[in-house]
Amino acid sequence: MENKVIRMQYDILLTGGIVIDPPGNLNDQFDVAIADGQIVDVAKNIDPQKAVRTIAVPGKYVVPGLVDIHAHVYVGVTTWGVAADPVCQTTGVTTIVDAGSSGWATFPGFSDYIVGPAQTRILCYLHISGIGLVYGPVGEMLDLRYADPGKVADTIIENRDLIVGVKVRQGSAQVGDNGVEPLKLAIEAAERADVPIMCHIGAGVRLPEILKLMRPGDVITHCFQGVGDSILDEKGRVIPDAWAARQDGVIFDVGHGGGSFSYEVAQQAMQQGFISDVISTDLHVGSINGPVYDLPTTLSKFLHLGLSLEAVIEKATIRPAKAIQRDDEIGYLKIGSPANITVLDLLDGEFEFFDAHRKKFVGHQKLEALFTIRQQTITECVTA
Ligand SMILES: [Zn+2]
């Protein structure tokens, strides 16, 4: 009699969770099976006998690995930088995008010392300023000589695996009297390399002037910021320029940060139907210990602002993946694709949240990451 070799069909099986995958139109209870690092089945009642390891997640949410497209992780070199792994691995973020901490002159160090050793997948926008965001107190584009669009484009072309676009900050603290000139230089570099830009908006530069330069697929970050020119006029109405930009395909991203998310602006804009496309944190040294903390906390604020769970998941998975033109790789749970999964809990209770102006509001739901799966690796999100 022949000895039968029993080969398990699946390495990991998640059972009983609620799968939310907006691109696949999934929002229901399904099991998810993983073999050889790939999602091999998403179906009702997959047989646990066929799995080496079964993790029961009844009542929990199984979503694509979270994607945060605005953070600052060039720790040790820039005044903004926080270490990526400790925050990402505890909060379910499997892909994080550094928003311009490095410029072309400091990118090699970013690639070697930050991206290389990290467990988390790190991508970046390259700053139009060659020095990037090395020193927060002095604006990086007060002097236009810091911008060399040719060098920026060349660096992107040589590093397309890591660089997703060009970053520029358009507030008077960053650009002085240079108006939208840095933005024009950023667009010049982006056109040469055929990538989008991410433009920070803030006080001191007229927003309509910025918006009319933005191209389809470019990202406005800090879209609900409340200092100086916001997307609202003096009567609290969303300005026509913002609607027009959105109509043209400009992407609006939250980029909460330490000073760039006004609860009131978000509430008023959202009441008028102006919802951000992407929800990101702008995590840095001045926001990670509050008011931002992390991406699940930021998403929870938008549950409080009235978005559905499915909508906030979409704005932290497939929508940011599209904004960085990586939606062929990340942001969904498709059979046959590498496993990149976050499992979330949705807690009920009374939770205090703060906007960037330290305005307090109390929400009744809070998202918390339980664990992630990237290919074969399960990372528990241990919370204190
Ligand atoms: Zn930022």
* C-alpha of residue 70 to centroid of ligand 1, in Å: 6
* C-alpha of residue 230 to centroid of ligand 1, in Å: 17
* C-alpha of residue 84 to centroid of ligand 1, in Å: 14
- Domains in the chain (CATH in brackets) are 65-323 (3.20.20.140)
Average pLDDT over residues 59-68: 98
State residue 192's pLDDT score.
98
Alpha-carbon distances of 106 from 96, 161, 166, 170, rounded to whole Å: 19, 17, 14, 21
Res 319 pLDDT > 70: yes
Q: Which residue has the higher pLDDT, 382 or 178?
A: 178
State residue 115's pLDDT score.
98
Tokens 């060659």 map to which residue? 130
pLDDT in tens, 92-118: 999 999 999 999 999 999 999 999 999
* C-alpha of residue 53 to centroid of ligand 1, in Å: 40
* C-alpha of residue 260 to centroid of ligand 1, in Å: 9
pLDDT in tens, 185-217: 999 999 999 999 999 999 999 999 999 999 999
* C-alpha of residue 249 to centroid of ligand 1, in Å: 22
Backbone phi and psi for residue 168, each to the nearest 5 degrees, phi listed first: -145, 145
Cβ atoms of residues 209 and 179 within 8 Å: yes
Q: How confident is the model at residue 143 (pLDDT cuts 50, 70, 90)?
A: very high
* C-alpha of residue 71 to centroid of ligand 1, in Å: 6
Res 3 pLDDT > 60: no
Res 148 pLDDT > 70: yes
Q: How confident is the model at residue 218 (pLDDT cuts 50, 70, 90)?
A: very high
**SS3 of 118-187:** CCCEEEEEEECECCCCCCCCCCCCCCHHHECHHHHHHHHHHCCCCEEEEEEEECHHHHCCCCCHHHHHHH
Instruction: Please state at what angle helix 181-193 crosses helix 149-158, rounded to 10 degrees.
Output: 40
Closest by CA position to 371, among listed 363, 383, 380, 362: 380
Q: What's the whole-number average pLDDT of the chain?
A: 96
pLDDT in tens, 11-42: 999 999 999 999 999 999 999 999 999 999 99
* C-alpha of residue 99 to centroid of ligand 1, in Å: 6
* C-alpha of residue 72 to centroid of ligand 1, in Å: 6
pLDDT in tens, 77-94: 999 999 999 999 999 999
Q: How confident is the model at residue 8 (pLDDT cuts 50, 70, 90)?
A: confident
pTM: 0.97
Tell me what percent of the residues of the chain surpass a pLDDT of 90. Answer: 96
Res 296 pLDDT > 60: yes
Closest by CA position to 365, among listed 281, 309, 313: 309
State residue 5's pLDDT score.
59
Average pLDDT over residues 246-256: 98
